[in-house]
Amino acid sequence: MKELIEQFCSHFQIDSQRIDANALYADLQSLSLQYQTSSHSNSSHISSLDYSLHNHSNDVIHVYSDGACSGNPGVGGWGAVLIYPNDYIELSGGELLTTNNRMELLAAIEALRHVQHSQITLPIIISTDSQYVKKGITLWVQNWKKNGWKTSAKEPVKNQDLWQQLDSLNQQLHPEWQWIKGHAGHKYNERCDTLAVSARDQIV
């Protein structure tokens, strides 16, 4: 860096003796650190240089999703975190009149759509704190389809439109589904909750 400063001064015919190269170098380092901090905290597209996958495998796409609703039905929001080998993405959105289950489903749908559109063909692990989503897509959906989207009680499956979208993505991408306990301090689950609540509150 000091050599570059000397070359800069020479190129523009500046007297390098009048410049404190050490102080300028320190200032540039400080500005670089401040820029990195501010861009990471305000952007939804965050460099993996900061996150470094934090114990995540480089050959897997990790997805986290969560939903929130004020009233049920009521105003809702959803949030998702996607960790690619070289990228970190945050997604969120909300609806004026919805339910918590619909927001949980939509979070997973939008996250998997993003993976699909990325055209990155790696194994996917998706984590949700919703047993409704996890059990629905891994256990219940096959019987629902066999029964013409009816429950065992012969009632129409609630949220059929979203279940069909999620089922289609699930069949195309074959993600591994994991359940994690909500509000238990898991970094990315907590981040998804923050995103969902923020998206919800922006609608109110």
- Tell me the binding residues for Mg(2+): 66, 104, 129, 193
59 noted as active-site residue: no
Q: Which of 95, 104, 110, 136 is catalytic?
A: 104
Would you list which residues are annotated within the binding site?
A: 66, 104, 129, 193
183 noted as active-site residue: yes
Q: Which of 90, 95, 110, 129 is catalytic?
A: 129
**3 state SS for 80-141:** EEEEECCEEEEEEEEEEEECHHHHHHHHHHHHHHHHHHHCCCCCEEEEECCHHHHHHHHHHH
C-alpha 193/C-alpha 76 separation (Å) is 12
Q: Please give the full DSSP string across 35-93, using - where no structure is assigned.
A: HHHHHHHH-SEEEHHHHTTTT--TTSEEEEEEEEEEETTEEEEEEEEEEETTEEEEEEE
Q: Which of 66, 90, 95, 110 is catalytic?
A: 66
C-alpha 5/C-alpha 89 separation (Å) is 36
Q: Collect all residues with Cβ–Cβ distance below 8 Å to 139 and sequence separation of at least 6.
A: none
Q: Which residues, in sequence order, are bridge partners of residue 94?
A: 77
129 noted as active-site residue: yes
C-alpha 197/C-alpha 49 separation (Å) is 27
Q: Which of 67, 76, 77, 93 is catalytic?
A: 67
Q: Which of 90, 95, 110, 193 is catalytic?
A: 193
Instruction: Catalogue the active-site residues.
Output: 66-67, 104, 129, 183, 193
